[in-house]
Structure 1
Amino acid sequence: MVGEAGGLARAAVVGTGLIGGSVLFRLRDAGLDVAAWDPDPAARRQVRERGVAAPDEVEEAVAGRHVVFVCGPLPTLPATLARVAAATDDRCVLTDVGSVKAEVATAATAQGLGHRFVPGHPMAGADRAGLGAAAPELLDGAAWVLCPGPTGVDAFRRLAALLVDVFHARVVPMSAPEHDAAAALASHLPHLLAGALAGAVQRSALRDAVLALAAGSFSDGTRVAGGPPERTANMLLGNRDRVLAELIEVGAFLDELAGALRAGDAAALTGRLAEARTARAALRGRAFTSHRREFPAGADPAVELAYLRELGAAGGHLTGCRVAAGAVGYTAHLPATPPLG
């Protein structure tokens, strides 16, 4: 069965919105034994109609499972995690899919769950929400951040193997604070900027004329503004300090553009836009080098953990994780050239 490399053949998903539902149906399609729970009775009914068990009580849904994905709104994660942990075996791997990691990682450590909770964040989404928008292919090949802690390396190995096997994920191992710092620019601030642009159009006296002229640049630049406002607000508030810090940096670059435009300085304006174009081009054109790395499975995990975090911080990812003959082997990929800037 797919996923047995991680020993996680029986799974549950708690919270069946866009991401949770997509995780659920991909696990089902891969042949795993899955169950689900959602606080909304209508959502549980929809899950059952799509052929997946969805008991009325979360404890029944997660009992006897090898892995549980906690997929509710960010503010609910610590309490839901505690409830799920109380109803599962101590060897059951727990993870989440929230877009902010430090807060839930801290809560899990405080609850004594650091050895089996691995904070996670699949970097995929849509401008729609709810189970009706969920699709098993949504997360296929996605970069999937995992944040292993000092006592959770074994749980990380098992979960990483499952994600690679089932989702063909590019697993990005990072510390929770590093994730939140990177995600502020990669994901959270774009939501804020998209909202600002779309909001300015909404307030414009020429709104309908603007929308009539809007083409790819406006549509691409405001796509994420179409998501549920509550979900975006939770994300921004959950990573507020990092988002505000990066907003200052983006504002400084915008000021340079505005200053060049105000001065009629074509060379300066072109130079700043060329700098931006370089980052955009690197998004699609990065080359990677591959390597294999092994560690003794039963040794002190500190060296392994340092390697994993350094890999993710350097822009790398994993496409393989196997434990055999007393050793864990990783298939890893790093950018072929150092990051620009």
Structure 2
Amino acid sequence: MTDGTTGRYAGVRAAVIGTGLIGGSVLLRLAEAGLDVVGWDPDPATRERAQHRGVVAPATIEQAVAGRDVVFLCGPLPTLAGTLALVAELTAPGCVLTDVGSTKVEVAEAADRLGLTDRFVPGHPMAGAESAGLTAASPTLLAGAAWVLCPAPGAATDAFRWLTGLLVELFDARVVPMSASAHDSAAALASHVPHLLAGALAGATQRAPLRDAVLTLAAGSFSDGTRVAGTPAERTANMLLGNRDRVLHELDEVRGFLDGLAAALRADDAPALVARYAEARAARSALSGRRFVGQTREFAVDGDHDAEVTWLRGLGDVGGHLTGCQVDSGTVSYTAWLPVAD
């Protein structure tokens, strides 16, 4: 990542609405990069903390978004649709809007109803921590993160292109283009169900007769498996409820695999246990040893936007990502990376 107002995004005026862990980290990184950025939070104490960290934090949301080129919406999931409608009214039509919520279908549908798909790009940086609030935020938290963006067909491609370039340049992001529904389906298994499993393991331990002994013996497997159980309960509940149907579907898939393990254990069937754990180990090994091959894809700036969006979404569906988006002389050029088959 670069510091200082260099590159094609020098002079961009940004605002961050909601300055908790993720919003605060976006805010601090944009400030570190030298952008003209302000942060607003409904909590006066949080705004004061932002000012103590050297960031401008106006008293009202109207002051925060006035004259901005891009606004990041980072409040709680249930508030995003309402905040989007308000910020859209307060900003110029050319202001790009995005969010960082962990579910995408609901806010994407709200943008469609409001007629904002030309400038709102649903987003979700895949990073975080079990702690919360601006005090836990860091300008490096999102560095190099996989950052989902959901391009809509048509003129929204312009906002998607611009925002992709900004995230790559300022956050070193790996932009993963997906439809909102594909994101929510993938995130259910990649992020949301793990919160359920972590909560179940930690919750069962809390109720166990030998709770303190368990905690004394707990090593890496318990610590790793329960880390996200330390996430604030309300934030986790909002995430799970916001993607309820997909989470329940994927939980059934996980339960089916777990039932198979339990059946093999009851039957004293070592070969079946070994086979299932070999299958699980393959996924874990692929996670840590993934390789990618690069390609460049070009489209006419004013060409077939539907074809461009179809290619972008397909890239995300197969596990690919973008590390560049450049618009020159009527052509948009993407630097894409696709996973190599195991």
- Calculate percent identity across the aligned residue pairs: 67
Aligned match for 1:56, one of 42, 54, 59 = 59
Match of 2:275 in 1: 271
1:149 equivalenced with 2:152 (yes/no): yes
Aligned match for 2:315, one of 304, 311, 318 = 311
**Aligned-pair distance for 1:49?**
1.2
CA displacement 1:107-152 (0-9 Å, x = unmatched): 0111111100000000000010000000000000000000011131
Aligned match for 1:259, one of 258, 263, 276 = 263
1:76 equivalenced with 2:67 (yes/no): no
**Aligned-pair distance for 1:6?**
5.6
Cα 1:180–1:7 change in 2 (3 A) is farther
Paired amino acid for 2:109? T
Cα 1:78–1:3 change in 2 (3 A) is farther
Cα 1:8–1:199 change in 2 (3 A) is farther
**Aligned-pair distance for 1:5?**
3.2
5+ long unaligned stretches in structure 2? none
Match of 2:251 in 1: 247
1:132 equivalenced with 2:135 (yes/no): yes
CA displacement 1:75-129 (0-9 Å, x = unmatched): 0000111111111110100000000000000001111111000000000000100
5+ long unaligned stretches in structure 1? none
C-alpha distance in 1 between matches for 2:107 and 2:244: 15
Contact 2:5 2:11 in 1 (8 A): no
1:219 equivalenced with 2:223 (yes/no): yes
C-alpha distance in 1 between matches for 2:120 and 2:10: 16
CA displacement 1:47-95 (0-9 Å, x = unmatched): 1111111111101101111100000000000011111111111010000
Computed over aligned residues only, the root mean square deviation of the Cα atoms, in angstroms, reads 1.1
Match of 1:201 in 2: 205
**Aligned-pair distance for 1:4?**
5.1
Cα 1:6–1:295 change in 2 (3 A) is farther
Contact 1:8 1:67 in 2 (8 A): no
Contact 2:177 2:316 in 1 (8 A): yes
1:292 equivalenced with 2:296 (yes/no): yes
Cα 1:250–1:196 change in 2 (3 A) is same
Paired residue total: 338
Contact 1:260 1:268 in 2 (8 A): yes
Match of 2:33 in 1: 30
State the TM-score, normalizing by the size of structure 2. 0.97
Cα 1:276–1:193 change in 2 (3 A) is same
CA displacement 1:203-233 (0-9 Å, x = unmatched): 0000000000000000000000001000000
Cα 1:261–1:50 change in 2 (3 A) is same
CA displacement 1:280-330 (0-9 Å, x = unmatched): 010010110100011111113011101100000010000001111111110
C-alpha distance in 2 between matches for 1:3 and 1:86: 31
Q: Secondary structure at the match of 2:37?
A: strand
Aligned match for 1:335, one of 317, 335, 339 = 339
C-alpha distance in 1 between matches for 2:334 and 2:153: 18
C-alpha distance in 2 between matches for 1:14 and 1:229: 22
C-alpha distance in 2 between matches for 1:136 and 1:6: 18
Match of 1:179 in 2: 183
C-alpha distance in 1 between matches for 2:315 and 2:10: 25
Contact 2:295 2:335 in 1 (8 A): yes
